[in-house]
Amino acid sequence: MGLFDKIMNSIFNETKKVVDSAVSGGKKVGEAASQKTASTPAPQPAAAQTAAEPARDPEAERYYLEDGSYEFNNTFHRDTAYFRDIIFRNFGDYGVEENVSISRFDENAHPKCTPVTFLLTKDGKRYAFYVIEQKRTNGMPYRGAKKVLDAAGIRHIHCIPCYKNEESYVVNRIKSIL
């Protein structure tokens, strides 16, 4: 018998002991069958014994789970209208176009390139602002669109709608490219 087989048998035997102990309620298998269980209270289900899930902070962008992973707080999900209002309130002196095709900047651009969500124009200079889901920021359509914008000399940024994106933050992000 090799070393691997010895280790596997040891793990199997230990696992079997733990399972047998859990099934018999911590008693030896022979004892559990011979004793009456009517006088003892029924054990509580495991779900009832666990503590309630802690309340989630509505101001947090992410909720961290026990395994170290996290999920986003969807209460912050902002739609395009939210960003449109911010742009019109704070950048009224700029021309604003929505959903501008990338083929406008390069005729040979791939047809699946992500269109520019908002194109701001002033004094002949153009600036692109994307509202894009986080899972799409590394995909070919978005990366290809960024390459086309870079080649055309158009500065660009993006915001991810599942984050807070408070107005001051969005305004400062847009001002950073102007």
Half-sphere exposure of 134 (CA within 13 A, CB side): 9
Is the whole-model pTM more than 0.85? no
Other residues' Cβ atoms within 10 Å of the Cβ of residue 84: 15
pLDDT at 41: 55
Q: At what angle do helices 80-90 and 167-175 cross, to 10 degrees?
A: 60
| Predicted pLDDT at 7 | 80
Q: Which residue has the higher pLDDT, 124 or 17?
A: 124
Sorted by sequence, the CB contacts under 8 Å of residue 59 that are 6+ apart come out as none
Rg of the chain (C-alpha set): 30
Q: Residue 62: which of 73, 53, 78 has the closest Cα?
A: 73
CB count, 10 Å around CB of 26?
A: 9
Q: How far apart are CA 20 and CA 50, in angstroms?
A: 23
- Tell me which of 36 and 13 has the higher pLDDT: 13
CA dihedral 17, 18, 21, 22 (to 10 degrees): -150
